[in-house]
Structure 1
């Protein structure tokens, strides 16, 4: 979905968790399971060979995941591991088209919608006959409850930005929903795509949202699967939802198996212990050489970067006060100097990084809007050229010199010493960190690189207590508005995604103008986003490393798959195990 739905996966941050000696769990097959239940599902995807006239249901799809979920509430989660489970249980108003990323009614609760001429009022017509797995209807009241819960002071959620521009939510009738925005917001539709809570399972006043047992053991589902069990740091087990409105899945269930180590994940894919893994660049050859495996490659909606904290990590401050006025930041003693950032940008060999670290699974980028958004992407911007001699000249001219001959530059008593961190367990990022450390140290930096666990890294990022981080964004979608990364409104220690404390009043102004253009015509919005890209390119709050290329390896015994770059699992209810077929 859009940026409002990106999770703080930060390009699949992983947590180093120990998994040892655990028996493979199994979904408990519902009593009503059988051919008759599964035979109502839609035809298998056209990308695969034609399915048998009668499909024998069964089999369990096991997903290797690098990190465990943290919570199973769609409005409280902020990590990809939780989101991967949540999307199988909770319905959304709209979805992203799996092949284009555009808003679609496919697989969503909204069957259709229309918008008023002024762009403020959106009316959604919901699907009739959809129920939660306990028989209660899924209707407009669930949406209203979910979004009012997000707005409630009783609920601490990273999704507050999804409701900040909503003036009202009206239930016209159980199958008709009217959402009014306070101002025109050209990407506002994407704010409405979060999973719905089953309102009948929570208190009307939202008082139990933060503490409900539903957060760890959802009792009902309106997705293709139902929750069965969750063993922390080991596995989560789902079983097919026989009442799923698109048709009960053929497979009996889905298991999320926590395997932090990439090599172990690959070995278990090859042995058949798991059915799917994210394939790291160095694993591609092994997957392609295995006749029992298939690989899906795609340009994903994200990028990798080095985030540079522009504020003092010893004194994090919000970007604005309660009245909305900018708060001047206590500057970072080193990274607030643009000359340092510019030198770093010229000191890195991006093509070598893409070729040797990402093994060709990436492409150079110059700014924050990806080429896939053709109308808004500024293709005249060039990535910073690899030029270590120029980088050293920039530092010399800025007064950063090695006066004592120890190999590390200093200025006014401040050594050019910085910490660089990333997530442990992602070998690609760890390899990148070593290379960045070497290339920056070669021009007079003292970079201390460390790969740390997921929880600690997230705490430091959101807390704004870091110097530099190798990380990434995914889930950026098809609209160029990414204000959560750059607006001073989201420079909020402890929760905001502008954790580099970037402040530029002109960018603030442009971001608000970009999503409030009357009529929202791309040709009117494009110049705004191109100016933003130019400013961010020049200010260098991020060093952009590579546009994202994803690879997924999976067991070839499964048929019916038709993955798209925006969704691998969009038709999961149609997948079937060929080894069970006559």
Structure 2
């Protein structure tokens, strides 16, 4: 670590700590992680790769479950903290939501028809059982007896069908019309408005079984299948004209009074601030452990104090507060490597709403991949992880994270902090300091300034943004914050996903799904592909990764090795850090675990003791 850089970080943190104290509780956004649509409501965790350079568990030893083995109170009350400095949006439908805070709100009342094992493969232990045909192209899903929506109506196979009808509808403007939806037989014609039915989806006469047939067999079937049902009887039927897509998205039945068939019913929502849930006595798995549960937003500035006072029982703690969290006597700290990574994205084009695909701009400011790779070499991610996150974040290498041990390529040579290599690449690209001001002009000798969008959040957001800007300045690249400041999460993503022309580069994070396929984020038609990068080779590899041949793990492993190499070569985004997530849990909590293979990862089991 260069001494100058450490002093920069230290001074920025000192200045910011004084600023936050003066602001007396002004809210900041901690992470702003986007969610890509996991059907699994559990917290996703796993051990990391065991290579020396990427072992996230090196020197760290955290439990996965609480130590309290007492009996849960019969009529206990539990308070769950949603740690965020931006009000949750309140789009409480798996079909329409986009951000992780809304997913957190939904986990208590909504769930997939499937349960998942420790490897996030679907099982027959949930609200439905399944059978897959010999050719692996058809899955029959049967709803179990006794599964009810919160209004008492039975869960039907046609409720799952309704989700597919919404996701594929020509008027659908959300982000989840992805491969496993598109792959359904007849979905292309339905999505184009050529038919009123999806020919590959059939529902039995008794409305207990739904049969879904796919165009291509894919290993994503058992880890990436859509399993969230939508209550047609409650929301209204878009297929018969009862309601329009626009009306549905803004409906109070989604935003104010949503229902599910999960363990808790929504009793009251204070928009953006809190949710009061009550026990659903007819929950098909059994009686939930607590009588009432409250979810409330807790800012990063007050999260530790709330834990100390016992105002909240369970909450995610920003890892930059780890050292202070260790001193709180009435809590336990649980942690594991997250299914997530942070990255710097380079704007390379726009999303075409009519064509529903990403279009690269050959004249984009960062069209030269040598410049993008130089910016990756210029970033000192190791210092960020060690000095700002107490070792709970580690330098990222590829876009398939280490928890996917079969597919993450730990041997791939990727850029790490090397300012001299960065300078050499910029020289090669013709980016040189022509006027002697310390900053490089572009290959045509014109001023080169990049506008950087980054989110507010916690005490480290400003220092990290400034640190990276200094890293780039050290190799001669002038970078300035969009509008001269950080932006809260919702306005940040509004700029990024609409391809606001004032954004050249941006810092964001992905919470990836349990399916290792990266197609949902980086394919040509993925609206989540915020860099707007496309290439024929990328299309070919992403398609091959979910093909029938990919049932052969060695074949799929080779495909994703090639894809990771391509991403390092073309650099549409530069991953910065892999990360731990840290949970603070009051010692009165029982039956709570972050191990996805544990029964106590299910929210209906969580309880409190005396």
The interval holding the TM-score normalised by the smaller chain is 0.7 to 0.9
Q: Whole-Å Cα distance in 2 between the matches of residues 81 and 281 of structure 1?
A: 18
Q: Whole-Å Cα distance in 2 between the matches of residues 320 and 531 of structure 1?
A: 31
After TM superposition, the structure 1 = structure 2 runs for residues 266-345 of structure 1, keeping only pairs within 5 Å, are 266-311=304-349, 316-318=350-352, 321=355, 329-333=361-365, 335-345=366-376
The 8 Å contact of residues 319 and 501 in structure 1, kept in 2 or not, is answered as no
Task: Assess, with a 3 A threshold, how the Cα gap between structure 1 residues 462 and 444 changes in structure 2: closer, same or farther.
Answer: same
After TM superposition, the structure 1 = structure 2 runs for residues 56-205 of structure 1, keeping only pairs within 5 Å, are 56-66=74-84, 67=86, 68-97=88-117, 99-106=118-125, 108-110=126-128, 112-161=129-178, 162-167=180-185, 168-172=200-204, 173-205=206-238
Alpha-carbon shift at residue 262 of structure 1 (Å) = 0.9
TM-score (norm 2): 0.80
Q: Deviations over 1:496-536 (max 9, x none)?
A: 11110111111111111110133712112111111011010
Q: Secondary structure at the match of 2:294?
A: strand
Is 1:430 matched up with 2:462? yes
- 1:467 corresponding residue in structure 2: 504
Judge which range, 133-142 or 212-221, deviates more.
212-221
Is 1:247 matched up with 2:286? yes
The 8 Å contact of residues 64 and 277 in structure 1, kept in 2 or not, is answered as yes
Q: Whole-Å Cα distance in 1 between the matches of residues 65 and 586 of structure 2?
A: 18
Cα-Cα RMSD: 2.7
- 1:482 corresponding residue in structure 2: 518
Task: Assess, with a 3 A threshold, how the Cα gap between structure 1 residues 384 and 565 changes in structure 2: closer, same or farther.
Answer: farther
- 1:34 corresponding residue in structure 2: none
- 2:49 corresponding residue in structure 1: none
Q: Secondary structure at the match of 2:211?
A: strand
Task: Assess, with a 3 A threshold, how the Cα gap between structure 1 residues 445 and 199 changes in structure 2: closer, same or farther.
Answer: same
- Identify unmatched segments of 5+ residues in structure 2: 1-33, 45-63, 186-199
Q: Deviations over 1:297-318 (max 9, x none)?
A: 111111111111123xxxx353
The 8 Å contact of residues 395 and 576 in structure 2, kept in 1 or not, is answered as yes
Q: Secondary structure at the match of 1:91?
A: coil
- 1:31 corresponding residue in structure 2: none
Q: What count of residue pairs does the alignment treat as equivalent?
A: 525
Task: Assess, with a 3 A threshold, how the Cα gap between structure 1 residues 519 and 421 changes in structure 2: closer, same or farther.
Answer: closer
Q: Whole-Å Cα distance in 1 between the matches of residues 288 and 38 of structure 2?
A: 25
Alpha-carbon shift at residue 49 of structure 1 (Å) = 5.0
Judge which range, 55-64 or 547-556, deviates more.
55-64
Q: 234, 257, 262: which is aligned to 2:296?
A: 257
Task: Assess, with a 3 A threshold, how the Cα gap between structure 1 residues 343 and 319 changes in structure 2: closer, same or farther.
Answer: farther
Alpha-carbon shift at residue 77 of structure 1 (Å) = 0.8
Judge which range, 267-276 or 420-429, deviates more.
420-429
Alpha-carbon shift at residue 576 of structure 1 (Å) = 2.2
Judge which range, 463-472 or 188-197, deviates more.
188-197
Q: Secondary structure at the match of 1:61?
A: strand
Q: Whole-Å Cα distance in 1 between the matches of residues 598 and 576 of structure 2?
A: 24
- Identify unmatched segments of 5+ residues in structure 1: 12-44, 491-495
Q: Whole-Å Cα distance in 2 between the matches of residues 475 and 360 of structure 1?
A: 22
Alpha-carbon shift at residue 148 of structure 1 (Å) = 1.5
- 2:476 corresponding residue in structure 1: 444
TM-score (norm 1): 0.84
Judge which range, 146-155 or 366-375, deviates more.
146-155
The 8 Å contact of residues 237 and 254 in structure 1, kept in 2 or not, is answered as yes
Task: Assess, with a 3 A threshold, how the Cα gap between structure 1 residues 543 and 351 changes in structure 2: closer, same or farther.
Answer: same
